[in-house]
């Protein structure tokens, strides 16, 4: 079954050159298995984790590959093995899960074992080492395998698309950071990083009843955005952020969340990969919790990650303080499939509007390289690409 008319599409390509992506004409993907779908993408986004690739530190060994892993779109081709989806359905895509391996049956679909042996999740946009030759979502079309378990069905209305696109990754991720930190209503929270994930972590904490939320960053626009939702902005270049927070919270905060990852900076804006983890340990009160959801992947240099280092992700931490305080630490990739239904319902009911983080809307894939440049320079907070919706055609 097919309603696809085009043979080629525009797509964003990583070729292994740091601080550069290109837009190229690529073949529109084809159905390869009975449970595949082809999706015409109508809303896509650039994620903060895409910047790790853009900076040459995250991805597969061998480029090129197509970028992007956040998308909303319409199914325009479908394999004959589908059970719950059909042509014309609007869906959200992100992490691929088969639905029948041991981890999927345990409800840990983010860690699907179908492509085992491996140590990474199956996700589009990072090359074949991260997803069995899946292509990226900063394009006009994408093929999704195991569609019944990998696609999240959306309403036909496009009213909430700018909110729904954030369900693909960063809204669940911000929410999950709090779960990792053992958050409870009434807790005080320090969120390190006020990029899109950090802002949505702070927003989630406020939605869930935090008594105070501190948002730590240095970019004025990000700190202003944090203040606009009720968080207390902390500029770590002005003074040690832990000192600033503990002047208000002498015992420390109950929960802290690392929403930065590989590209942590110290107060001189120099790279210091362990600074956020150690600040979380320092600022969290005894028996509190730390949610570590910033990406720390240990990779050796290769054509796909030319600026990676065998030492990246190998951190010197304040383990003595961690132990003495009895702190808990949980890390890992968000369980997106588990969180999407409840967060979707919050959006549809008007209880949550995560799209407040979006400050740049593109209308063509051709605009994506320039958006990467501006995103890298922290001139924008969250760029989203909205493409024309497919015309309705009969099966």
8 A C-beta contact, residue 59 and residue 305:
yes
Please give the Cα distance from 265 to 241 (Å, whole number): 12
Nearest to 316 by CA among 285, 278, 284: 278
Cβ(361)–Cβ(386) under 8 Å?
yes
Closest by CA position to 46, among listed 380, 391, 335: 380
pLDDT of residue 121: 54
CATH topology of domain 8-168+335-386: Quinone Oxidoreductase; Chain A, domain 1 (3.90.180)
Domain borders along the chain are 8-168+335-386, 170-331
pLDDT, residue 321, reads: 97
Burial 364-381 (b: 16+ CB within 10 A, else e): ebeebeebbeebeeeebb
User: Within 13 Å of residue 210, how many CA atoms lie on the same side as its CB?
Assistant: 29
- CA distances to 50, 307, 367 from 21, in Å: 11, 15, 11
Nearest to 50 by CA among 24, 97, 12, 23: 12
For 262-315, the pLDDT digits (tens) are: 999 999 999 999 999 999 999 999 999 999 999 998 889 999 999 998 889 899
For residue 76, the tally of other CB atoms under 10 A from its CB is 21
What was the pLDDT predicted at 4? 54
| pTM beyond cutoff 0.75 | yes
What pLDDT shows up at residue 133? 60
Which CATH number is 170-331's, of 3.40.250.10, 3.40.50.720, 3.40.720.10, 3.20.20.105?
3.40.50.720
State the pairing for strand pair 65-66/22-27.
Answer: unpaired
pLDDT value of residue 395: 44
Q: Are both 8-168+335-386 and 170-331 of the same fold?
A: no
**The pLDDT value given to residue 100:** 82
> What pLDDT does residue 96 have?
82
pLDDT for the residue numbered 5: 63
CB environment 127-157: b (16+ within 10 A), e (fewer): bbbbbeebbbbbbbbbbbbbbbbbbbebeee
Q: Which residues of the chain have pLDDT under 50?
A: 1, 116-120, 393-395
């Amino acid at each position: 079954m097919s309603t696809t008319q085009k043979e080629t599409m525009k797509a964003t390509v990583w070729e292994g050159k740091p601080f550069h992506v290109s837009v190229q004409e690529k073949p529109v993907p084809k159905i390869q298995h009975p449970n595949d779908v082809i999706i015409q993408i109508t809303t896509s986004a650039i994620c903060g984790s895409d910047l790790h690739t853009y900076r040459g530190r995250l991805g597969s060994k061998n480029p090129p590959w197509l970028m992007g892993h956040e998308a909303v779109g319409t199914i325009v081709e479908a394999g004959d093995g589908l059970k719950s989806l059909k042509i014309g359905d609007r869906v959200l895509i992100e992490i691929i899960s088969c639905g029948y391996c041991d981890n999927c049956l345990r409800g840990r679909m983010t860690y699907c074992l179908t492509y085992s042996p491996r140590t990474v999740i199956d996700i589009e946009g990072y090359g074949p080492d991260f997803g069995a030759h899946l292509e990226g979502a900063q394009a006009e079309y994408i093929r999704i395998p195991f569609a019944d378990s990998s696609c999240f069905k959306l309403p036909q209305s496009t009213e909430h698309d700018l909110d729904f696109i954030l369900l693909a990754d960063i809204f669940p991720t911000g929410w999950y950071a709090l779960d990792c930190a053992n958050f409870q209503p009434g807790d005080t929270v320090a969120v390190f990083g006020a990029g899109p994930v950090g802002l949505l972590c702070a927003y989630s904490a406020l939605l869930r009843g935090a008594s105070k939320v501190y948002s730590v960053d240095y970019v004025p626009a990000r700190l202003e955005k944090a203040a606009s939702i009720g968080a207390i902005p902390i500029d770590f270049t002005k003074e040690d952020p832990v000192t600033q927070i503990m002047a208000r919270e002498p015992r420390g905060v109950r929960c802290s969340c690392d929403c930065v990852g590989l590209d942590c900076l110290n107060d001189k804006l120099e790279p210091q990969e362990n600074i956020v983890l150690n600040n979380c340990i320092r600022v969290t009160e005894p028996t509190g919790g730390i949610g570590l959801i910033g990406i720390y992947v240990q990779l050796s240099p290769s054509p796909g990650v030319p600026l990676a280092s065998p030492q990246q992700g190998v951190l010197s931490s304040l383990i003595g303080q961690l132990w003495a305080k009895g702190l808990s630490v949980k890390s890992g990739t968000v369980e997106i499939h588990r969180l999407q239904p409840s967060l979707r319902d919050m959006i549809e009911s008007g209880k949550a509007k995560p799209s407040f983080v979006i400050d740049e809307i593109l209308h063509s894939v051709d605009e994506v390289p320039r958006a990467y440049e501006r995103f890298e320079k922290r001139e924008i907070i969250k760029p989203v690409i909205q493409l024309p919706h497919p015309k309705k055609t009969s099966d």
